[in-house]
Amino acid sequence: MYTGIIDHCGVIQRLIQGDKSIHLWISCNFLDVIEGESIAVNGFCVTALQPEKNLFQCDISPETFCLTNAQYLTEGSIVNLERSLQLQDRLGGHFVMGHVDKVYQLSEKVPQGEFTLMNFSKVSTGSDSAFLVKKGSVSVNGISLTINEVSPNGFQVMVIPHTLKRTNLHLLTVGDKVNIEFDLLVRITVNYLQQSRLGSA
Domain ranges of the chain: 8-83, 102-185
Asked if domains 8-83 and 102-185 share a fold, the reply is: yes
Q: Please give the CATH number for the structural domain made up of 102-185.
A: 2.40.30.20
pLDDT digits (tens, 9 = 90+) for 20-79: 999 999 999 999 999 999 999 999 999 999 999 999 999 999 999 999 999 999 999 999
| CATH fold of 8-83 | Elongation Factor Tu (Ef-tu); domain 3 (2.40.30)
The 3-state secondary structure of the chain reads: CECCCCCEEEEEEEEEECCCCEEEEEECCCCCCCCCCEEEECCEEEECEEEECCEEEEEECHHHHHHCHHHHCCCCCEEEEEECCCCCCCCCCCCECCCCCEEEEEEEEEEECCEEEEEEEECCCCCCHHHCCCCCEEEECCEEEEEEEEECCEEEEEECHHHHHHCHHHHCCCCCEEEEEECHHHHHHHHHHHHHHHHHC
pLDDT digits (tens, 9 = 90+) for 1-24: 999 999 999 999 999 999 899 999
